[in-house]
Structure 1
Amino acid sequence: MWNEIKSEKDLKSFMDTVCGFHDSCIKEIKYISGAYVDETLSMLPINTQRTLSVIIQRQFENPSVVEMQFVGLKYLRLFPIDEDYTCEILDTTMILKKDCIYWCDCGGLSATDIENYTGTAICASKVRWRAADEYIGSDEIYVAI
């Protein structure tokens, strides 16, 4: 079941549920633009969907895995740490504004800070989430068929 974050109350409840994503990691990301080329090689070059799905695994139960969908993606800035460093998330910032919601992998930031942040940051029109504990482990979830 998907839970939408529409209000500050929803946001606070979500962040409490995931303990601010302490001791978490981004496992997978999938983006669907909505644009495509069909069998006749005609193109629909419009980003009609702009949906980013993110699986985050946590070292806690209830839930151990959270899947988030950022709908109406405005931007994704992905700065993965290289293999010589760890990538665990210790804290995050989520900010709900009138026309968008922000998420980043660093705690205590303002909306202006997030816009200038050099780590991973996401901005979208809407966000929904669900517990997805069936996705625990190393198996890929977003695999091509």
Structure 2
Amino acid sequence: MWKELRTQHEIDNFMKEIIGFHDSCIKEMKYSSGAYVDKNLSMLPTNTKRTLTVLIQRQFDDISALELEFSELEYIRMYPVNPDFTCEILDASFFIKDGLIYWCDNGDVKDDNINNYKGTVICSKKVRWRNASELIGENEFYRSTNE
């Protein structure tokens, strides 16, 4: 069941529940723009959805995996860590600023230094989450329907 996070208070309670994303990692992401080309080759060239779904896996029994769905996405900025370093999340930042919701893969990021952070930043107008513990493990879950 999806649970919306609309206020800073709801986000703060969620962060307590999942221990600030401690000992977790971004497993996969899926973006849906809403644009498409139909079978007759006509195109709907507008970003009507702008939805990013992020699968995060955690080293905890109660919620071992969760999905965050960011809708009305404003932007995503990623700087994937190279294979010589770990990409584990020790803590995360999750806050509302000027009516937008920000999630960052580091707990030291604040609203006044968000533009200088060189890690993953997701910014959207809406966010919801669900327990996705059934999506634990190394298999890819967001894959082509042809696989």
**Residue in 1 that maps onto 2:114:** 114
**1:131 aligned onto 2:135:** no
The 2-side partners of 1:40 and 1:9 are apart by: 48
The 1-side partners of 2:51 and 2:139 are apart by: 22
Task: Give the percent of matched residue pairs that are identical in Structure 1 and Structure 2.
Answer: 53
Greater CA drift, 51-60 or 107-116: 107-116
**1:112 deviation in Å?**
2.7
Structural mapping, 1:78-97, within 5 Å: 78-97=78-97
Greater CA drift, 90-99 or 44-53: 90-99
1:118 partner amino acid: K
The 1-side partners of 2:97 and 2:81 are apart by: 28
2:136 partner amino acid: I
Give CA deviations for 1:112-138 in whole Å, capped at 9, x if unaligned: 312221110000000000111000001
Give CA deviations for 1:35-93 in whole Å, capped at 9, x if unaligned: 01111211111000000000000011211111000000000011110111111011100
Question: What's the TM-score, normalizing by structure 1?
Answer: 0.96
The 2-side partners of 1:15 and 1:72 are apart by: 22
2:140 partner amino acid: E
**Residue in 2 that maps onto 1:17:** 17
**1:51 aligned onto 2:48:** no
Give CA deviations for 1:2-44 in whole Å, capped at 9, x if unaligned: 0100112211111011111011100000000000111121111
Deviating beyond 2 angstroms after TM superposition, the runs of 4 or more aligned structure 1 residues are none
The 2-side partners of 1:18 and 1:45 are apart by: 38
**Residue in 2 that maps onto 1:65:** 65
The 2-side partners of 1:46 and 1:99 are apart by: 23
Q: How many equivalent pairs are there?
A: 145
The 1-side partners of 2:110 and 2:62 are apart by: 28
**1:26 aligned onto 2:30:** no
Q: CA RMSD in A?
A: 1.0
Question: What's the TM-score, normalizing by structure 2?
Answer: 0.95
The 1-side partners of 2:81 and 2:97 are apart by: 28
**1:98 deviation in Å?**
4.5
**Which residues of structure 2 form unaligned runs of 5+?**
none
